[in-house]
């Protein structure tokens, strides 16, 4: 889809920084001013952004030789992270992380968003990125463009001192609690985080890395990795500076968690809150010792977590899971750009031989029938075919099932997958699932 008349795409650079930050505060209302944003280290350079500009006469300009000088306004933009090693079931694939998608409120309802998404998906195809992924500011928007909700996370509110079940090896770690510093902790965090995503079940040997956590986007981009640990006062929202807990065994880091505390005092005494950010651990014992610290900090009354995977070790350790106040929230949304390439990039947890009839209104070239053949946990063969389809679904439903977090059978119950051959839905659903729940530990 092309832009409406009077608008054009513009690759951004540093000269657009001020205009982009002003646009961002219009698209995403915030108490942080453009000047404060400008002083922060951004997670990526402006050359990773594409803007939409409106050209027209400048009403405030002085005519020159009878002509009114033109002005160019930045009215919309989007950016993209290049995740070269984004975890998909049993493998890694090049994925584009769509981000900072915004339209000035004066220019809404003119087709700018649809044109930007189309432009983004075309760029993904040119770069060889078979999948686009994002966090949705509004859940109702991106399904229109073929994105499916592919992963969830859970948010917990735990009382201080919540009891944990005993775990073999717990109590054997040393603990460090420090002010988080990207120069001090950046390498440690990146290493532990990556290993936690590669082997979340702690399985060693050649098959261990196959059981990865899909969606667990890493820190290959140095600017993003640094930004995730930076701590500008403008973004603290009244809380203390970011802290980090590191648990180690024999001098080797086995887990970390970032957190902030906020202080509240009542007539009954201190009632502070521990706000936990990212968490990554390499085994159950490390998780136990890490959470033991976070659940027993002085002057605190409760612990609030953010972006934990739905199968995080903490949930299985709680003696009283009802006390957790668990809330399930949408996490990563996925859009298949190259259907055959994306389906071939991942592994399947059971033998599969299924023919999918896929519809894609935004990218009609994807419309068609695809045969997916694979043995359990082995590389897949995906080809276009004229064979009769076993299942019919839209590209958004395929995106929802892609990381193994939503089952094809469950989508079938919702009327989003149609079974054309008896028994095909059950067997395909088993193959498309994954032993480890997909999730991402930070918002990109």
Residue 117 lies in a domain: yes
Residues 68-119: pLDDT tens digits?
Answer: 444 579 999 999 999 999 999 999 999 999 999 999 999 999 999 999 999 9
- Here the CATH number for the domain that contains residue 246 is 3.40.630.30
Cα–Cα dist 189/212, whole Å: 18
Residues 269-319: pLDDT tens digits?
Answer: 899 999 999 999 999 999 999 999 999 999 999 999 999 999 999 999 999
Contact 367, 360 (CB under 8 A): yes
- Here the CATH number for the domain that contains residue 424 is 3.30.1050.10
Contact 255, 281 (CB under 8 A): yes
CB atoms within 10 A of CB 381: 13
**How far lies 175's CA from each of 252, 345, 378, in Å?**
11, 39, 40
One domain for residues 48 and 124: yes
- Burial classification of residue 426, based on how many CB atoms lie within 10 Å of its CB (0-12 exposed, 13-18 middle, 19 or more buried): middle
Residue 441 lies in a domain: no
Residue 298 lies in a domain: yes
One domain for residues 321 and 349: no
pTM comes to 0.93
One domain for residues 298 and 202: yes
CB atoms within 10 A of CB 441: 23
One domain for residues 299 and 226: yes
Sign of CA dihedral 18, 19, 23, 26: positive
Q: What is the pLDDT of residue 45?
A: 85
Q: What is the pLDDT of residue 297?
A: 98
Domain total of the chain: 3
Q: Residue 84 belongs to what H/E stretch?
A: strand 70-88
Residue 146 lies in a domain: no
Residue 197 lies in a domain: yes
> Which range marks the domain in which residue 90 is found?
7-129
Residue 64 lies in a domain: yes
């Amino acid at each position: 889809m092309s832009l409406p008349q009077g608008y054009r795409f513009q690759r951004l650079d540093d000269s657009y920084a001020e205009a982009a930050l002003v646009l961002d505060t219009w698209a995403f209302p915030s108490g942080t001013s453009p000047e404060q944003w400008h002083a922060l280290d951004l997670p990526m350079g402006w050359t990773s952004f594409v803007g939409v500009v409106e050209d027209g006469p400048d009403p405030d300009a002085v005519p020159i030789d009878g002509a009114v000088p033109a002005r160019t306004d930045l009215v919309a933009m989007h950016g993209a992270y290049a995740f070269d090693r984004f975890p998909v079931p049993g493998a890694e694939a090049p994925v584009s992380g769509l981000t900072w998608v915004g339209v000035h409120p004066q220019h809404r309802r003119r087709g700018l968003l649809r044109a930007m998404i189309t432009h983004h998906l075309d760029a993904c195809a040119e770069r060889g990125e078979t999948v686009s992924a994002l966090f949705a500011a509004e859940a109702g928007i991106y399904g229109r463009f073929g994105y499916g909700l592919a992963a969830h996370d859970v948010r917990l509110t735990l009382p201080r001192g919540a009891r944990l079940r005993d775990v073999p090896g717990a109590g054997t770690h040393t603990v460090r609690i420090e002010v988080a510093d990207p120069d001090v902790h950046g390498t440690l965090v990146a290493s532990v985080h990556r290993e936690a995503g590669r082997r979340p079940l702690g399985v060693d040997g050649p098959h261990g890395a196959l059981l990865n956590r899909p969606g667990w986007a890493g820190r290959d981009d140095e600017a993003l990795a640094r930004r995730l640990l930076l701590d500008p006062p403008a973004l603290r929202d009244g809380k203390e500076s970011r802290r980090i807990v590191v648990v180690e065994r024999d001098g080797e880091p086995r887990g970390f968690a970032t957190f902030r505390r906020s202080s509240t005092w009542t007539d009954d005494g201190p009632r502070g809150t521990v706000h936990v950010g990212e968490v990554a651990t390499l085994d159950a014992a490390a998780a136990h010792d890490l959470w033991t610290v976070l659940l027993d900090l002085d002057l605190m009354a409760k612990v609030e977590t953010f972006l934990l995977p739905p199968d995080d070790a903490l949930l299985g350790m709680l003696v009283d899971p009802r006390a957790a106040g668990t809330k399930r929230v949408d996490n990563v949304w996925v859009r298949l750009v190259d259907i055959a390439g994306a389906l071939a990039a991942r592994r399947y947890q059971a033998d599969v031989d299924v023919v999918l009839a896929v519809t894609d209104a935004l990218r009609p070239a994807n419309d068609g029938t695809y045969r997916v053949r694979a043995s359990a946990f082995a590389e897949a063969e995906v080809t276009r075919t004229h064979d009769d389809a076993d299942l019919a679904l839209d590209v958004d439903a395929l995106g929802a099932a892609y990381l193994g977090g939503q089952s094809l059978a469950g989508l079938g119950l919702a009327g989003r997958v149609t079974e054309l051959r008896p028994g095909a839905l059950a067997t395909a659903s088993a193959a498309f699932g994954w032993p480890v729940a997909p999730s991402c530990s930070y918002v990109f």
